[in-house]
């Protein structure tokens, strides 16, 4: 008897179902039928379970399936403890006797515990992850990419450690190898490995600007005098598209710039808001130098330019890195606009554009120049012994903590472990050196930009 001989309609169909739930190499094959049966060479055991209906439309099914499992089922125990270490998939087979068809495929998206001690598992259809269905990726700050996946593109072999277990105490596993799980990227959130030093403080530099305030207190040279906070550079009144430059006697490579944006505390809105970096070897033909790393207190503008955060003090610096390996004699900050105007006595609202201090440097940072990232396996890492895989919840020195125990795990067994990621931009940048593949929106505003809030 074929499957279709009975399945002519919903009303007359009398199928039995088989559920193949898989997490990596581990499978739970169950059936809501009161008797077990074999299909495809595997035994499907009876279990107290039920699922919701699948909507039947002319389109690919887009709704999820909810599958109820008893609390004492092994899978319920795993997923109720936290996020499983691998994706969990579900295949539903329907059939009669030995004739079955694949009815539905999907993957686990969420879990909840009902009042009657039943675990409710929500599975999304496989079709929901297909490009043809439409854009499904959420807008979020944290990176949605799977660590070591194709979109992440980090080579997992570079973040792997192997060794022998020294001791096991519940969820805690000890090994001297864990203490060696240390990585360091070529970046650092605070340090600098500078060959030239602060180039804008060298003797022989010539500073220039296309305009400046007539008051001598704001002469453009002040922007490079290392006297943070006073004085600084101010453009002419109502200045937009202003620039301030630095010239050296010979070509220099500049790939990192720090600025103190606030030129005057009482009139902080005169700070530069948007700018680009340009370079030249003749002082007349300028080439834009792309910004590729918004290190501190700034964000992308026009893809490879800079929006500087508004600052009200002389203690906070904005810092950004440049995609530059060439020597230029001239460098300048081309400033589009300030943050706004201030009211002055007898003058009304006045607009200037200014910067308090500038440092242009060449940064020759290499791996190992900065303190290394210890406890590198971190949260979200993977621990493997034989065919058993567990998520690493934390790592400190020679000890890691697993999300759940591994039966018969003991000292002397060999293991493989991979570093984890919390999907934050700093971890991506400073641990994996992979910020160019970061999938989150690091500078997503907190407030909804589609409201009447005048700040957005």
Instruction: Note whether 179 and 112 are same-domain residues.
Output: no
Overall average pLDDT of the 251-262 stretch: 88
CA dihedral sign, ordered 191, 193, 198, 203:
positive
- Residues 244, 308: one domain? yes
pLDDT tens figures, 441-455: 877 766 565 655 443
Q: Which of 143, 141, 151, 65 is nearest to 109 (CA)?
A: 65
165 pLDDT above the threshold of 60 = yes
**Segment 360-388 mean pLDDT:** 73
d(CA 154, CA 368): 19
pLDDT the model gives residue 326: 86
Is the confidence at residue 374, as pLDDT, over 60? yes
pLDDT band for position 158 (cuts 50, 70, 90)? confident
E strands along 224-327, which residues? 233-234, 242-252, 256-260, 272-280, 287-289, 291-296, 298-301, 305-308, 318-322
Could you give phi then psi for residue 256, rounded to 5 degrees?
-155, 135
The CATH number of whichever domain residue 221 belongs to comes to 2.60.120.260
Structure tokens at 197: 């030093």
Same domain, 208 and 180: no
- Quote the pLDDT of residue 168: 94
- Write down the pLDDT at residue 80: 72
CA distance 61 to 52: 13
* Statement to judge: residues 47 and 74 lie in one domain: yes
Average predicted confidence (pLDDT) for the chain: 80
Q: Do 169 and 200 sit in the same domain of this protein? A: no
Q: What's the confidence (pLDDT) of residue 350? A: 84
Among 63-67, 130-134, 152-156, 254-258, whose mean pLDDT is lowest? Answer: 130-134
Q: Which string of DSSP letters, residue by residue, matches 105-120? A: EEEEEEEEE-TTSEEE
Query: Residue 419's domain spans which residues?
Result: 156-187+371-437
Q: What integer is the mean pLDDT of 221-242?
A: 73
Query: Which of 253, 361, 374, 370 is CA-nearest to residue 317?
Result: 361
Q: How far apart are CA 254 and CA 200, in angstroms?
A: 10
**Residues ≥6 apart with Cβ < 8 Å to 7:** 13, 15, 94
Q: Is position 146 within any domain?
A: no
| Coil, helix or strand at residue 298 | strand
pLDDT confidence of residue 19:
94
Answer yes or no: is 234 within a domain: yes
The per-residue pLDDT for 327 is 86
Cα angle vertex 206, ends 200, 209, to 5°? 95
* Span 286-315, average pLDDT: 91
In angstroms, the CA 418 to CA 51 distance is 36
- Structurally, the chain folds into a number of domains equal to 3
Which of 43-57, 163-177, 260-274 tops mean pLDDT? 163-177
Q: Check whether residue 53 and residue 169 sit in a common domain.
A: no
Residue 186 predicted with pLDDT over 50? no
> Looking at the predicted structure, is the pLDDT value of residue 132 above 70?
no
**Exposure of 76 by Cβ count < 10 A (0-12 exposed, 13-18 middle, 19+ buried)?**
buried
Work out the average pLDDT over 139-158.
Answer: 86
Reported as a single tens digit per residue, the pLDDT across 32-61 is: 988 888 888 899 999 888 898 876 555 554
Residue 149 lies in a domain: no
Instruction: Using the predicted structure, report yes or no on whether residue 267 has a pLDDT greater than 80.
Output: yes
pLDDT score of 366 = 47
Span 117-123, mean pLDDT? 85
pLDDT at 279 over 90: yes
Peptide linkage before 231 cis (omega within 30 of 0): yes
Same domain, 284 and 433: no
Q: Which residues, other chains included, contact 205 with Cβ-Cβ below 8 Å and sequence gap of 6+?
A: 199, 224, 246, 247, 248
Between 429 and 238, name the one with better pLDDT.
238
d(CA 172, CA 175): 10
Q: Please, which pLDDT band fits residue 189 given cuts at 50, 70 and 90?
A: very low
For residue 396, the domain's CATH number is: 2.40.30.20
């Amino acid at each position: 008897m074929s499957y279709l001989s009975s399945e002519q309609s919903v009303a007359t169909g009398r199928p039995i179902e088989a559920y193949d739930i898989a997490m990596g190499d581990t499978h739970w094959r169950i059936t809501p039928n009161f008797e077990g049966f074999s299909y495809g060479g595997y035994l499907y055991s009876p279990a107290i379970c039920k699922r919701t209906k699948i909507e039947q439309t002319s389109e690919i099914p887009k709704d999820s399936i909810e599958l109820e499992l008893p609390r004492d089922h092994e899978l319920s125990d795993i997923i109720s403890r936290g996020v499983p270490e691998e994706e969990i998939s579900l295949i539903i087979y329907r059939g009669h006797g030995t004739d079955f068809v694949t009815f539905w495929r999907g993957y686990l998206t969420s879990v909840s515990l009902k009042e009657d001690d039943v675990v409710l598992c929500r599975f999304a259809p496989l079709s929901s992850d297909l490009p043809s269905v439409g854009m499904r990726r959420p807008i979020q700050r944290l990176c949605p990419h799977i660590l070591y996946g194709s979109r992440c593109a980090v080579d997992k072999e570079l973040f792997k450690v192997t060794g022998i277990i020294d001791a096991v105490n519940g969820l805690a596993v000890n090994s001297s190898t864990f203490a060696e799980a240390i990585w360091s990227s070529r970046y650092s959130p605070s340090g600098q490995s500078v060959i030239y030093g602060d180039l804008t403080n060298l003797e022989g530099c010539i500073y220039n600007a296309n305009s400046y305030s007539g008051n001598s207190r704001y002469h453009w040279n002040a922007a490079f005098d290392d006297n943070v906070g006073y004085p600084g550079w101010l453009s002419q009144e109502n200045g937009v598209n202003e620039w301030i430059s630095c010239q050296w006697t010979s070509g220099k490579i500049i790939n990192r710039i720090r600025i103190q944006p606030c030129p005057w505390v009482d009139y902080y809105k005169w700070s530069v808001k948007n700018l680009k970096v340009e370079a030249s070897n003749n002082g007349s033909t300028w080439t834009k130098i792309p910004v590729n790393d918004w290190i501190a207190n700034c964000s992308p503008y026009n893809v490879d330019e800079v929006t500087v955060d508004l600052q009200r003090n002389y203690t906070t610096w904005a810092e950004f890195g440049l995609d530059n390996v060439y020597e230029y004699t001239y460098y300048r900050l081309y400033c589009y606009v300030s943050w706004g105007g201030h009211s002055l006595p007898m003058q009304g609202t006045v607009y200037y554009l200014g910067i308090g201090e500038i440092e242009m440097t060449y940064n020759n940072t290499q791996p190992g120049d900065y303190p290394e990232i210890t406890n590198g396996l971190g949260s979200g890492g993977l621990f493997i012994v034989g065919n058993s895989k567990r998520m690493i919840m934390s790592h400190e020195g020679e000890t890691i903590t697993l999300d759940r125990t591994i039966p018969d795990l003991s000292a002397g067994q060999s293991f493989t472990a991979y570093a984890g990621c919390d999907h934050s931009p700093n971890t991506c940048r400073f641990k994996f050196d992979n910020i160019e593949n970061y999938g989150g929106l690091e500078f997503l505003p907190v407030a909804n930009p589609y409201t009447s809030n005048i700040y957005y």
